[in-house]
Amino acid sequence: MFTRVGQSIDEIGRITQFMGRILHAAMFNRCSSHVIFDQIWRVTLQSLSTTALAGFFVGGIMTVQFTLQVKEFGALGYLGGLSTSGTIREIGPLLIAFMLSGKVGAFTSAELGTMRVTEQIDAIRCLGADPIQEIILPRFIGIVISSFFLLTVGLFMSIGGGLLMGIVFSNISPEEYLRHIPSIVTFPSILSGMFKCFVFAMVLSSICTYKGYSTTGGAKGVGRAVVSTAVATMVGIVIADWLTSLISEAIMIAFVGEL
């Protein structure tokens, strides 16, 4: 048990150091904007439909669950606000990030792992270029930007899914569903959801690029890297969700106290 804990701590340290190298390359070296936009476009196209569909059903599920609770108190008029607030602040970013970790994270890890075991990364180094700058940095930036965009799209789709289920399952009008959203979904709540989206995107991009870049052992190693990426990103996202929830609550308490 202690060995596994030590290995996990060591792995976290390696990922943190790797992320530091990426940030150093981003600050002190130039990166082709064309390559970055290409990565953003590719990741977005690969995952847009999946993320939108996941967000739609997340919103619908939240509406169904809240309906079962608020119906007992005769408070269906607040269904839209409660469902949307819970989706934006907590459930939506978390579940959609899980979807992206299984698709974007696994694909990037497999791509970089294949480049590592086929010695393409070593070839770039032999030509006098830095693989971190030429290969990792564009993918890292592209994944962060596209993942943040995809998570945001998923959250908006969740509102649509919740509205549809409110009409079909809860038997309330669209006006009644939308009426209390502005009063319950406050600006700090939206900022909390966006903050979670950004942090989850950073966690996902850091882990998948590190796992792919450090792959060893040929084709079997690529498979192990993909599995390890899936597990590590999910654990990392859960831990990041806990930390961001604490930070968001502290900020909201301070904000309310100032008011």
- pLDDT at site 1: 57
Decide: 95 and 195 in contact? Cβ < 8 Å.
no
Decide: 100 and 150 in contact? Cβ < 8 Å.
yes
Which residue shows structure tokens 């032999």?
126
Residue 27 backbone class (left: φ over 0; alpha: ψ -120 to 50; beta: rest)? alpha
Domain boundaries, the chain: 2-258
Lowest mean per-residue pLDDT among 18-22, 76-80, 117-121, 131-135: 76-80
Lowest mean per-residue pLDDT among 114-118, 135-139, 149-153: 149-153
The CA distance from 109 to 210, in Å, is: 8
Q: Would you place residue 252 in the very low, low, confident or very high pLDDT band (cuts 50, 70, 90)?
A: low
> Between 43 and 256, whose confidence is greater?
43
pLDDT digits (tens, 9 = 90+) for 211-225: 888 888 888 888 888
Q: Which residues lie below 8 Å from residue 9, measured CB to CB, with a gap of 6+? A: none
The CA distance from 228 to 232, in Å, is: 6
Q: Which pTM value belongs to this model?
A: 0.83
- pLDDT at site 135: 86
pLDDT digits (tens, 9 = 90+) for 188-197: 778 888 888 8
The CA distance from 152 to 131, in Å, is: 31
Q: Which residues lie below 8 Å from residue 140, measured CB to CB, with a gap of 6+? A: 22, 26, 205, 206, 209
Decide: 140 and 204 in contact? Cβ < 8 Å.
no
Average pLDDT over residues 48-69: 84
